[in-house]
Amino acid sequence: MKQYVLVMVAVLSAGLCAAALETAHVPADAQWVFHMDCEVFAAGYLGQRVVADVQDRYQSKIEAKTRYLGSDLTRDIHGVTLFGVGNDEADAVMLVYGQFDRGRLLELLQRDEAYDTTIHRDRVLHHWHDRRRSKDQVGAFAADDVIVISQSVERIQDALDVIDGQKDPLAERPDAPLRALVDSTRGAFLVAAADDVSTLVRGTEHAAVLQNSRTLSITADEVNDLFRLNVYLEAKSEQAAQQVEQLARGMLAYAALQQDNYPELAPLTEAFSLTRTDALLAFEFNFPSDELLGMIYRYIGK
């Protein structure tokens, strides 16, 4: 399990890749989006260190996976975007940007007993069954360097229509709250944003904090070897924001009380700050990248 944590981070921090969030590929009606920009991450201390460590420890596994897939996951994945309308996992869409061996990938898919194809306009949709997740999947090449994957045929078709200019993208909706949220996150290597949050978490356990929330954005970046995590939550009212603030401050206070038992938590707790302006809450976490990576490595037993 520990090695896979490092390998996955290396995939997302590939040093030769670049893919900023492309709002022209996200539907105008999307309610949430997640994006990982590989180049920005790889340019920082965290990305450089993790890639070097993974390549040093798992080069034989990387080479074996490269021979199997026809692509080097530590170099050839340029970026990953997920988006959706609503909270149904089956309606989520993933865009993978990179350099792919199309022939090899199709050869692997065709080995699946459930493999089939359908046509959407001039696009070939590939259907298969993911045995690990016990889910039917459908995917397509939107371009040589863009793969679209979902569980829903309808969502795949919509995504392709957006990419092909047949339906409106988020890029053409400057008035959309989600567009404003992602536009304010330029330069971050990780972006997550959601509009109409209360409907997205409806019926979800352990999400009481978000039940009265309007928008949410999360960004992570690195500046001068300082890791920064920023969370902005807009509640539906000032009263709702006050309730969230009280809960969050209570959790930070509890963490501070545990410092005698867990002294390693002290610097992490002190790195958090919380401010509220009317119905808007801002959570900030700033921590030296080298110290953070050291803590992560100690946790996973490097």
- The tens-digit pLDDT sequence of the chain (302 residues) is 333 333 344 444 443 344 689 999 999 999 999 999 887 888 889 988 988 888 888 888 888 988 988 888 777 888 899 999 988 899 999 999 999 999 999 999 999 999 999 999 999 999 999 888 889 999 999 999 999 999 999 999 999 999 999 999 999 998 888 998 998 777 899 999 999 999 888 877 667 778 889 999 999 999 999 999 999 999 999 999 999 999 999 988 888 888 778 787 788 888 999 999 999 999 999 999 999 998 888 877 65
Whether 124 is covered by a domain: the verdict is yes
Kindly state the tokens that stand for 65: 């996976």
Kindly state the tokens that stand for 131: 């045995």
Whether 159 is covered by a domain: the verdict is yes
Residues 6+ apart with CB under 8 A from 298: none
Whether 239 is covered by a domain: the verdict is no
Whether 286 is covered by a domain: the verdict is no
Residues 6+ apart with CB under 8 A from 2: 300, 301, 302
Quote the CA–CA distance of 160 and 166 in Å, as a whole number.
Answer: 8
CB atoms < 10 A from the CB of 205, how many?
6
Answer whether 137's CB lies under 8 Å from 128's CB. yes
Q: What is the pLDDT of residue 77?
A: 84
> For residue 52, what are the CA distances in angstroms to 9, 116, 301?
11, 40, 17
Whether 258 is covered by a domain: the verdict is no
Whether 77 is covered by a domain: the verdict is yes
Tell me how many degrees the CA angle 152-155-161 measures, rounded to the nearest 5: 145
Q: What's 131's DSSP letter?
A: T
Quote the CA–CA distance of 149 and 130 in Å, as a whole number.
Answer: 12
Kindly state the tokens that stand for 81: 């975007």
First-last CA distance in the chain: 12
Query: Among 135, 148, 179, 154, which Cα is nearest to 32's?
Result: 179
Domain containing residue 35? 2-223
Provide the domain count of the chain: 1
Whether 172 is covered by a domain: the verdict is yes
Whether 139 is covered by a domain: the verdict is yes
Q: What is the pLDDT of residue 249?
A: 92
